[in-house]
């Protein structure tokens, strides 16, 4: 099937309509990703259709959670300040920026060579209001310029939710949202994270479960609202968190 047709059909199956320019941007992103992947490990997924399903459509599947949470829906449509924590090869942040151009996105990762690649993609696509930050979350969540500065934090396949909540919620403004992308079968992980979420100032408001259209790939997305400020002692340092 012709690439752009496949892209549009898969994204429209999520209830999102994209224009030809956005479609071309995603295709260019894919081409740059697979070319760079020849010399640097960015993704195990290089087939176009699989990349559309498991990277692009998956990144945009936050719309299912937005369907259950009006605040999140308004954030995506009207634009807000978003942090993609542990962005890796740019997912979900870059597809979100391409499809929801009003978003102001920070792509944060601990590996600088990934971010140098993402800078190339951002420049090639001519995107504005998107930047990369080379950082470890447990350090930068304590810095004033990042502490409780974001309306929305997203993170895909980074860590167990208890740990991820500690690393993430310090970045989120009171009243903001944290939406992690978790795999199907994460019910126990989510349940076991409730204490950590609460301690960090969060409250689980929705848990949205779905299967990506045309695949057997299951997702679970907890929608976590920041209801209180994160206590100043969190996040703990990497040694105490056991991530060094």
Instruction: Give the model confidence (pLDDT) of 101-150 as tens digits.
Output: 999 999 999 999 999 999 999 999 999 999 999 999 999 999 999 999 99
Strand pairing class (202-211; 218-226): antiparallel
Band of residue 241 on the pLDDT scale cut at 50, 70, 90: low
> Which strands sit side by side in the sheet containing 150-156, from one edge to the other?
130-134, 104-109, 81-85, 150-156, 172-183, 218-226, 202-211
Distance CA 224, CA 200 (A): 11
Question: According to the model, what pLDDT value does residue 59 have?
Answer: 98
Count CB neighbours of 184 within 10 A: 13
Distance CA 5, CA 173 (A): 39
| Residues 65, 151, 108, 11, CA torsion sign | positive
Distance CA 101, CA 108 (A): 18
Distance CA 10, CA 217 (A): 14
Mean pLDDT to the nearest integer, 216-226: 96
DSSP state of 160: -
243 vs 45, higher pLDDT: 45
Helix (H, G, I), strand (E, B) or coil at 62: helix
Distance CA 196, CA 186 (A): 16
Count CB neighbours of 163 within 10 A: 18
Kindly list the domain boundaries of the chain, sorted by start residue.
3-241
Half-sphere exposure at residue 44, Cβ-oriented, CA atoms within 13 angstroms: 0
Q: Which fold has domain 3-241?
A: Rossmann fold (3.40.50)
Strand pairing class (218-226; 172-183): antiparallel
| Residues 101, 52, 73, 94, CA torsion sign | negative
Question: According to the model, what pLDDT value does residue 237 have?
Answer: 79
Asked if residues 76 and 64 have their Cβ atoms less than 8 Å apart, the reply is no
Q: Please, what is the average pLDDT of the chain? A: 94
Nearest one of 202, 134, 135 to 162, comparing CA atoms: 202
Mean pLDDT to the nearest integer, 193-197: 96
202-215 confidence digits (pLDDT tens): 999 999 999 999 89
52-91 confidence digits (pLDDT tens): 999 999 999 999 999 999 999 999 999 999 999 999 999 9
Asked if residues 23 and 4 have their Cβ atoms less than 8 Å apart, the reply is yes
Question: According to the model, what pLDDT value does residue 238 have?
Answer: 64
Q: Percentage of the chain with pLDDT > 90? A: 92
Distance CA 180, CA 222 (A): 6
């Amino acid at each position: 099937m012709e690439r752009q047709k496949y892209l549009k059909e898969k994204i429209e199956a999520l209830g999102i309509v994209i224009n030809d320019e956005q479609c071309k941007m995603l295709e260019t992103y894919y081409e740059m990703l697979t070319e760079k992947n020849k010399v640097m490990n960015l993704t195990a997924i290089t087939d176009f259709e699989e990349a559309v399903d498991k990277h692009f459509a998956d990144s945009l599947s936050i719309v299912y959670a937005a369907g259950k949470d009006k605040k999140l829906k308004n954030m995506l449509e009207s634009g807000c300040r978003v942090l993609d924590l542990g962005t890796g090869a740019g997912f979900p942040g870059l597809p979100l920026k391409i499809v929801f151009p009003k978003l102001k996105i920070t792509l944060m990762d601990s590996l600088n060579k990934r971010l140098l690649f993402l800078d190339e993609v951002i420049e090639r696509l001519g995107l504005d209001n998107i930047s990369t930050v080379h950082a470890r979350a447990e350090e930068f969540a304590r810095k004033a310029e990042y502490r409780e500065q974001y309306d929305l934090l997203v993170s895909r396949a980074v860590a167990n939710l208890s740990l991820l909540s500690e690393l993430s919620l310090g970045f989120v403004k009171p009243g903001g949202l944290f939406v992690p992308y978790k795999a199907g079968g994460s019910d126990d992980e989510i349940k076991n994270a409730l204490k950590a979420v609460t301690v960090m100032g969060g409250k689980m408001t929705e848990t949205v479960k779905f299967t990506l259209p045309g695949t057997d790939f299951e997702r679970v997305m907890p929608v976590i609202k920041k209801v209180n400020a994160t206590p100043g002692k969190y996040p703990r340092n990497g040694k105490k968190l056991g991530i060094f």
